[in-house]
Structure 1
Amino acid sequence: MQLHTHEWGTGDRIALLIHGMMSDHRTWRRVGPALADRGYRVIAVDLRGHGASGRGTYGARLFADDLVDTLPTGADLALGHSLGGLALSLAAERLAPARAVYCDPAWALGTDGAVDPAAFVAFQRLSRQVIAKFNPRWEAADVDVEVATLAAWDPDSALSLSGPHAADHTPAAPVVPSLVQVADPSPVVDAALKEELVRRGFEVRTVRGAGHTMYRDDFDAFMRSLEGWL
């Protein structure tokens, strides 16, 4: 499937941004321009079932295949958050970016019972006030974006990763130089997995005090954690 994309900047280097579940390219409203200011042409997608992209059958490998169908190969940087990190890892060998960043990647979502993707369906009914209450560090613009992206999201995309469809897609090794950014605390990357990822050859950095959508909880800390990877 060809995905809807949004771009910032006209630099010679290319950066790819892949959002998480329930979101779309608008979640990168600060990250995209910040990378453009660093000389990148930034391309952000809406995954299938999200934003302005098409609907249809869902599954982890379909999310990845769409990235390959839509995005250029050989980008200088590819960054995926949560579900976007899962999709990126399954597409990384084919996309062949110079560097990959996995922001709190949901590689084993639904397999340990800690986070059930089916529970995300209820999030679509949350009011703006509730979203703001649960995310007190977000700017008002981020709350507005969350309301808009939830309205544009197909919850069936979450059901495709739950129950019998859940699988552990944690990479055996990075196929390109790779950084894993971990929230503090993280709902998807625990201490044992952090140690295992280091053993497998990933660089792992914890963004202290920031939640799962760390680039909205603490944008400055998120950007500092990318030092040396941009």
Structure 2
Amino acid sequence: MQLHTREWGPSDGKVAVLIHGIMADSRCWWRVGPHLASLGYHVIAVDLPGHGESPRAEVYSPELFASSVLESVPAGPELAIGHSLGGLTLAVAVERLRPGRAIYSDPAFRLPRVEGGAPMTDMMAQLKDVTIEQVAAMHPGWTAEENAVEIEMLKLWDPRTALSLSEIVGSDHTPEPIVPSLVQLADPSFLVSPEYAKDLEAKGFEVRVVKGAEHTIHRHLFEDFLAGLDSWI
């Protein structure tokens, strides 16, 4: 599936690929993309299937997300960053994409269940029609601009992406660190426990925690997000 993309920076620059999380789209990188462009990158941010202006599908899966990214961006980029579902997507695609460096920002390698046993993805599907006031209450550290971006992204989001992913809740998509790989974590992360973080380090990942950051690190604490990528971008 060919995806809609948003681009920043010089066309002849080293390529950076950005992959957003569930319910979002390429607009969530509105600060990250220009910053990477200022460092000389040609930045390509995708809208995953069912998100933003990309096509819809009847059923969504990690492989559909990964294969669509591979179809839509150049192979062998200098840098690839995936947040949450984007981290899961990058994990599935990384062996074929072969970026110079892979950054997984609070990645959903393992999708959990919420209290009571229901898939977290089912709960996400219920957020399709939240108001901007509800967004502000859920993300008290976000700016007014981030809240507005969230509402605009939700308008174009297909909640079937979340419902489809309920099929993989409980499975493990942890990749091999076949390229230099950083896992950047929220504080605390509801997706990567301290024990799991230690397992990732033993596996060969570098793991860094962004103190005080919520799940959407790049949207909550932008400067701290960048500081947490020191020497990686």
TM range (shorter): over 0.9
Check conservation: 2:111, 2:168, Cα contact below 8 A.
Answer: no
Which segments of 5 or more consecutive residues in structure 2 lack a partner in the other structure?
none
SS at match of 1:125: coil
Q: Distance in 1 between matches of 2:119 and 2:99?
A: 29
Q: Which amino acid aligns with 1:71?
A: V
Check conservation: 1:108, 1:188, Cα contact below 8 A.
Answer: yes
- Give identity over the alignment, percent: 50
1:5 corresponds in structure 2 to: 5
Check conservation: 1:118, 1:158, Cα contact below 8 A.
Answer: yes
Check conservation: 1:111, 1:168, Cα contact below 8 A.
Answer: no
May I ask how many residue pairs the two structures share in their alignment? 228
Write out aligned runs for 1:33-48 (5 A): 33-48=34-49
Question: Are 2:220 and 1:204 equivalent residues in the alignment?
Answer: no
Q: Distance in 1 between matches of 2:13 and 2:36?
A: 12
Question: Are 2:22 and 1:21 equivalent residues in the alignment?
Answer: yes
1:151 aligned residue (155, 166, 185): 155
Which segments of 5 or more consecutive residues in structure 1 lack a partner in the other structure?
none
2:99 corresponds in structure 1 to: 97
For each residue in 1:197-230, what CA deviation from the matched residue of structure 2 results, as whole angstroms up to 9, or x when unmatched? 0000000000000000011111010000000101
1:51 corresponds in structure 2 to: 52
Displacement of 1:95 in angstroms is 0.7
Q: Which amino acid aligns with 1:198?
A: E
For each residue in 1:96-144, what CA deviation from the matched residue of structure 2 results, as whole angstroms up to 9, or x when unmatched? 1000000000011136858611110111121101101221211111101
SS at match of 2:165: coil
SS at match of 1:211: coil
For each residue in 1:129-164, what CA deviation from the matched residue of structure 2 results, as whole angstroms up to 9, or x when unmatched? 1101221211111101100111100000011111x4
**Superposition misfits of 4+ residues, deviation over 3 angstroms:** 110-115
Q: Which amino acid aligns with 2:145?
A: A
Write out aligned runs for 1:68-87 (5 A): 68-87=70-89
1:219 aligned residue (219, 222, 226): 222
What TM-score, normalized to structure 2? 0.95
SS at match of 2:68: helix
2:128 corresponds in structure 1 to: 124
Judged with a 3 Å threshold, the aligned counterparts in structure 2 of structure 1 residues 111 and 64 are, in CA distance, closer, same or farther, namely: farther
